[in-house]
Structure formats: C-alpha cells, structure tokens
Amino acid sequence: MFGYYLDLALRSLKRNKVLTALMVIAIAVGIGASMTTLTVMHLLSGDPIPTRSATLFYPQVDPSPDPDPGHTHEAWDMMDYRSAMDLWAAHRADRQAMVASGSLRLTAPEVNQPPLMAQMLSTTSDFFPMFDVPFQYGGGWQPQDDQSRSRVAVISSDLNIKLFGGANSVGRTLRLKDNDVRIIGVLAPWRPSPQFYDVAGGRFSNGKTASFYNKPEDVFMPFSSSLDINASGTNIFTCWHVPDADTKIEDKPCVWVALWVQLDSAAKASNYRRFIADYAAQQKALGRLTHADNTTLRSLMQWLDFNQVVPSDVRLQTWLAFAFLLICLFNTVGLLLAKFLRRSGEIGVRRALGATQGAVLAQCLVEAGLIGLIGGIGGWLLTLLGLALIRQQPVEYADLLHLDSMMFLTTFVMAIVASLLAGAVPAWRASRVALGLQLKTL
C-alpha cells in the first residue's frame, strides 16, 4: 500500500505546484537555519578526545590566602607552581602533564624568514601519549628530558609548513628568543575542539569563550627548560597580590599552571581525590595553604561543562533558529490543512469505495512525509551554504565547521519528522470529513 500512497502523493504534489513549492520552501528554510546552528553547536560541544575523556581528570587545590573562614568560592581554575609541581612529582597517576602557555619570538637560523611571534606550550613528556597527539615526523621527549631541562622542542604542522615547507625538520634548529633548541618532533595536523588542555576561566568570560577553539600552539617544550627560556612570556591566570618585579615566576603569588592526570579506573580516581585532599591538609598544617577542604577532581567533560566552553551566542542562535523552524511548521500546517480539505470530494469518493479513515490518514501522512523529504534536500543545501558563510567569518572555530555524517542524517530525519508533525492535524481532519455531505457536493 505504501507504493500506492506514494504514487497518490506524487500526483497530488504535481497537481498544485505553487502550493507544493511554498510548503517545501517553508520546510527547507526552517531546516536549513536550525541545522546550521545545530551543527555548530554539535561541533563545539562534542567530546574532544572520546577514546580517553573518561580517564582524564583535572585536579584543583586552593592556594588562596584568604583568611575568612566563610570563604566558599571555587578553587582557582589553575594552580600555583609549588602545588602543581608537588602533585606532578608525586607520580600518583597513570600519566600526568603540567601545562602552561605563553608567547615568544622565534626564528629558524637556516631559513631566510623574518622572526615570528608564536605560541608556546610548556608541558611534560606524558602530554603526547596522554592526549593521543599524532606525529608526522619524530616524536615527543622522554621523562629524563623533563628532569635534565633539555633544549628540545616539538613543533606544529602549521609551523613546520611555514618554516620548512612541510619537510621533515627533525634535527634542525629553532631559535627561541636568543636560545637554540633542537626539533625532535613534528605534529601531524591536529585540531582538538575545544583546545581542552588549556581551558580555564570560561565561566568568568561572559560567554566569550571562542578562544578555547584556537589552533594548538606552535611550539611544545619541556616545562622546566621552557621557563629558562621564556619565563617572562608565560601567561599568568591571576595573582592574589602584586608580585615584585624581580620575583622568579616559580615564586610568584600567582596561579598559572594546569595539571592533567590520567586515571584508568574509578578506584584510581577515588584514590587520587583522596590524595589531593590529604596533600592540601598537609600543606595547611605547614602553613602554606589556608583552605585545605577546597579541592576538586573533575573529569574532562565535567571540566568543559564547568567552564561553559560553548559560546553563549551560539546557544542563543540555536534557540532562535529552532523558534524560526517552529514558525515555518505552523505555516506548513496551514498550507497542508488547506490542501487536504480542498480534496474533500476526492476523499469522500475514496471513503465511499471502501477506504477506511486509517487509510486516508496514512495517505495524507505519506504526502506530508514526501514534502518533508524534498524540503530536507533543500534544507541540506541551505545548511551547507550556511556553514560556508560562517567559515568566512573571523571566528576562531570557523575552520572546524563541516557537516559530518551524523548531522547529514539528522537533517533528513528532522525534516521528515517535522513535516509529519505538521501534517498530523490536517491529515486527521481530512480523514474525518463528513462523507454524506461531501458526496452531495460532487
């Protein structure tokens, strides 16, 4: 029977092309607008490392010297150097990585190019295996390089293309400020979304969290040796009082270091949570920390949610787009109602020849679904156009936007479901026309 209903639907759509076009356009425009914003939301709010996110955690302790016993604010989003180094040096996790970012001037002595301002990430050797960072050439450094303050570096694919034309640059020299370091690895193209390992302060940014979608840093160096080279260029998150100008960064009353740990079981996560609580209590007993009870251990996805990494304007645009889709559906309901009721005489004849109310209802819903399918094709094309237009905008996440297979299928499922919902009431009304009255009017 479905083939018969489909044939009737095609005939009906061809009979009134203008009305059909209006309904298809209404569905297409509504689906195009909503799927464009939904795709952006999907790409920005997804799991950046699905194979590992359940085992990655972000510990926090509170170095605030605030003596107020009623102090209840969350621990700062980053740690002071002493706390981060103590937790890292304890080696209580399966893997662990300290992270700090900064900027500096770099050149390649063997390349005839002017100096570049680049972003540098100071980290430890576990960073690369812990976050499944892909390499095109070479690899990361070893744990002993962290201890010996080795002058080695890993560079991004983009920087390798800028300086060396994409060739294998392992073994070549990079000059950071006035210091030469040896390149030991070149990343393959890598674009985590968001840049999860450097997320902090999102809930204080008034929704301006697009910086979490920047490209990864240009240079990665062992934590200690990077401080020897670029301590003055390291980003400080905040300080609890203004440090003296000549104070070493390790001793500043500031928070600027992030620590990530990999804990491969729930039991290990529970033990580590207890470990950082015990550490804070110990440091309070020594007089270094004031609020020993203010410690947390959030999983990766909990940390991203806590920092509200999806920009608020994207959320607002998504709600507005779905409101627009709802308006389009109301228009489609009116058009379908007019279309089906104008065929009351035809429906009356079908009923007189033995068609049940259910058969008429099914026929009308098949027609509504066909309109949704055609509208879905139009919505898919408009979604591609919308994403292309966003990619032209000066936003950090523009290059991330594409329509993946999941969103492609969602486009058509949403279009068909929306048209069926829009057609439900008109189809029900059409299946219950007064049979005798309609036959008299023929």
The per-residue pLDDT for 229 is 93
The per-residue pLDDT for 442 is 47
Cα dihedral across residues 93, 94, 99, 105: positive or negative: positive
Give the integer Cα–Cα distance in Å for 40 and 19. 32
The residue type of 144 is: Q
Residue matched to tokens 């425009």: 29
- Where are the chain's structural domains? 2-45+311-440, 53-306
Give the integer Cα–Cα distance in Å for 119 and 109. 19
Burial class of residue 204 in the structure, from the number of CB atoms within 10 Å of its CB (0-12 exposed, 13-18 middle, 19+ buried):
exposed
Closest CA to 141 of 110, 174, 182: 182
The per-residue pLDDT for 434 is 60
Token couple for 162: 């800028």
- From first to last of its 442 residues, the chain has per-residue pLDDT tens of 777 767 777 777 788 788 888 889 999 999 999 999 888 888 777 788 988 999 999 999 988 776 655 555 678 899 999 999 999 999 999 999 999 999 999 999 888 888 999 999 999 999 999 999 999 999 999 999 999 999 999 999 999 999 999 999 999 999 999 899 999 999 999 988 888 998 887 765 554 555 788 889 999 999 999 999 998 889 999 888 888 878 888 988 999 999 999 999 999 999 999 999 999 999 988 888 887 788 999 999 999 888 888 776 777 778 888 888 888 888 888 888 877 777 666 666 666 666 677 777 888 888 888 998 999 999 999 999 989 888 888 777 777 788 888 889 999 999 999 898 888 888 887 777 665 554 555 4
Host H or E run for residue 357: helix 357-391
| CA angle in degrees (0–180, nearest 5) for 69-205-317 | 135
Q: Are the beta carbons of 157 and 190 closer than 8 angstroms?
A: yes
The per-residue pLDDT for 127 is 97
In three-state secondary structure terms, 222 is strand
